[in-house]
Amino acid sequence: MDWQVLYTKPKWEKKVAEQLNAAGVTCYCPTMVKVQQWSDRKKKVLVPLFNHYVFVQVPEKERNSVFISPGVVRYLFWLGKHAVVKNEEITTIKNWLEGGEDNSIDVLQYKVGETVKIDKGPFIDHDAIIKEVTKTHFVLVLESLGCVLKMNRQ
């Protein structure tokens, strides 16, 4: 069964996922560790990878059961239909977040406009066009996935 995307209230992603899991709904809220800085200290906090979005797997008949959580606003739509995320894409996100491996890509020898094949990390075997290279980051366009990646240099 494919995943559908819920749009949540701001800062409710993790709460919605907890409430839906407690109610028996299969859901996934990808999170990452981020260093948050306050005026007097730094702290590692767990933040959602996608703001406002939680992925759910529910049968068509039980689609409205997700609204038991007060943080759920609506389902996300794409071209007039419920947005669908394939199992393989969720698996790729999970593997990338849990991997802990070095996903850095060396682009020093490449020039803007060249096409490269990514040989490691979550986007392995995808072709990308180098759009921008600076001292601090680089930008890759993955046309097959319809996305642009901005990656910091390590």
Alpha-carbon span 88 to 95, nearest angstrom: 10
Written as six digits, the tokens of 65 are 């059961």
Q: What percent of the chain has pLDDT over 70?
A: 88
Does the pLDDT of residue 2 top 80, yes or no?
A: yes
Alpha-carbon span 43 to 33, nearest angstrom: 10
- SS3 for 113? coil
pTM of the model: 0.67
User: Looking only at Cα atoms, what is the longest distance across the chain?
Assistant: 54
> Average pLDDT for residues 114-135, to the nearest whole number?
79
Name the strand (E) or helix (H) holding 94: helix 87-99
Q: pLDDT class for 100, splitting at 50, 70, 90?
A: low
72-81: burial string, b at 16+ Cβ within 10 Å, e else: beebbeeeee
pLDDT at 7: 95
Instruction: Please compute, for residue 84, the number of CA atoms within 13 A of its CA located in the half-sphere on the CB side.
Output: 11
Place of tokens 């899991």: 21
Q: Of 17, 142, 6, nearest to 83 (Cα)?
A: 6
pLDDT in tens, 38-91: 889 999 999 998 899 999 999 989 999 999 999 999 999 988 988 898 888 888
Q: pLDDT class for 35, splitting at 50, 70, 90?
A: confident
